[in-house]
DNA sequence: AGCCAGGACAAGT
DNA sequence: ACTTGTCATGGC
């Protein structure tokens, strides 16, 4: 899509229609944890939350036009970047199908894609993504959101009408025992040691971003206690624009077993494996489950 | 009430 | 290299 403002009304930016952006799926697909759907909205769909150190809303009407709520026109580039509006999902979706030579797999990819069309990978903060997915392990999405919310409330910087995501330094200074009081359970140690590592420079997220290969980035992340392949893959995919990362969780295991041959390697999805993964995850977790 | 959750890790085969 | 028990908590 071509990102541009069609009109403004106060702090509401009206952005045009896009066939490959679903506000609902993008904010419902489990990649971000600080957005909630607004009930009784004037729009067909509205999500409100905190990103880029600001409280912000995204909405969409029934014919697909979408709106940015609570932003000045001059801030549009920030939100355009956050939503990665420069990424051409039409082209990515073509390649996801085209690159799969096995017709069996192609059909699967097509159905997953169609069911999940409109999901965009957000450009989220690196540390927030890492920390959030450490919390996500062996956990459910409502509780993940609750823990993150209390983490922000207690240790996040005041950004006016909300709290920012806490810095590594803030969580390091808080200490493991204080984090445990937020009911994050066995993850308290993991959060703390990750915060310590990033805070004292033992782990440079800049270096993760500059990693030459997926495996190099993964190695840096999994060096942390409590960060395994799944959390590392989510962090790389959602926080570092590594679209080739393919996180395997219980839902993906399920869909792989159900619809793919045993020796199928998800990395054969290539440079956009992670986006294919999102489609598979969404269709299995949110569509299959509701049948 | 009990199973499960966008897992990781250590210990055991 | 694979399997299993454990970890803390609460959603459903």
Predicted confidence (pLDDT) per residue in A115-135, tens digit: 778 999 999 999 999 999 999
User: What does the pLDDT read at residue A104?
Assistant: 62
Q: Is the pLDDT of residue A290 over 60?
A: no
Does residue A111 surpass a pLDDT of 70? yes
**What is the CA angle A273-A251-A276, rounded to 5?**
20
- Alpha-carbon gap, residue A38 to A49, rounded angstroms: 10
- Averaged over A124-153, what is the pLDDT? 98
Q: Which of A73-82, A100-109, A153-162, A260-269 has the lowest mean pLDDT?
A: A100-109
Q: Which nucleotides of C are covered by protein (CB under 7 A)?
A: 7-12
The per-residue pLDDT for A204 is: 98
Average pLDDT over residues A150-161: 97
Please give the share of chain A, as a percent, with pLDDT higher than 90.
74
What's the CA–C1' distance between A9 and C1, in Å? 61
Residues with CB under 7 A from strand B: A 29-31, 133, 136-141, 143-144, 186, 222, 224-232, 234, 247, 249-252, 277-278, 281, 285
Q: Which tokens hold the place of A88?
A: 């051409």
Distance A223 CA to B12 C1' (A): 24
Query: Active-site residue A230, yes or no?
Result: yes
Mean pLDDT, range A143-166, rounded to an integer: 97
**C7 C1' to A185 CA distance, Å:** 8
Share of chain A above pLDDT 70, in %: 95
pLDDT confidence tier of residue A236, bands split at 50, 70 and 90:
very high
Count of Cβ atoms closer than 10 Å to residue A9 Cβ: 8
The helix (H) or strand (E) run that includes residue A15 is strand A12-17
For the question of whether the overall pTM of this predicted structure is more than 0.75, the answer is yes
Protein-nucleic contacts, chain A 174-213 to strand C, CB < 7 Å: 180, 183-186
Residue A58: phi and psi, rounded to 5, are -130, 135
Pick from A280, A275, A266: which is nearest to A100 by CA? Answer: A266
């Amino acid at each position: 899509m071509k990102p541009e403002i069609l009109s403004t009304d106060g702090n509401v930016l009206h952005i045009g229609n896009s066939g490959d952006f679903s506000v609902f799926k993008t904010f419902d697909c489990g990649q971000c944890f600080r957005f909630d759907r607004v009930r009784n909205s004037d729009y067909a769909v509205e999500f409100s939350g905190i990103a880029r150190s600001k409280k912000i809303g995204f909405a969409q009407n029934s014919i697909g036009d979408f709106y940015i709520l609570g932003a000045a026109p001059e801030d549009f580039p920030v939100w355009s970047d956050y939503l990665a509006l420069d990424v051409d999902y039409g082209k990515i979706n073509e390649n996801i199908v085209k690159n799969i030579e096995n017709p069996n797999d192609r059909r699967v990819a097509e159905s997953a894609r169609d069911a999940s069309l409109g999901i965009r990978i957000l450009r989220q903060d690196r540390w927030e993504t890492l920390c959030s997915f450490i919390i996500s392990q062996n956990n459910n999405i409502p509780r993940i959101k609750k823990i993150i919310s209390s983490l922000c409330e207690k240790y996040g910087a005041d950004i006016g009408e909300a709290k920012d995501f806490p810095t590594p330094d803030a969580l390091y200074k808080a200490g493991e025992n204080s984090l445990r009081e937020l009911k994050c359970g066995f993850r308290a140690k993991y959060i703390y040691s990750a915060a310590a590592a990033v805070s004292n420079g033992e782990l440079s997220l800049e270096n993760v971003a500059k990693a030459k290969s997926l495996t190099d980035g993964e190695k840096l992340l999994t060096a942390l206690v409590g960060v395994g392949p799944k959390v590392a893959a989510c962090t790389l995919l959602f926080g570092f624009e590594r679209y080739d990362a393919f996180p395997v969780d219980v839902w993906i295991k399920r869909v792989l077993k159900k619809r793919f041959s045993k020796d199928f390697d998800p990395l054969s999805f290539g440079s956009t494996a992670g986006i294919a993964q999102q489609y598979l995850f969404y269709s299995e977790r949110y569509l299959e489950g509701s049948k």
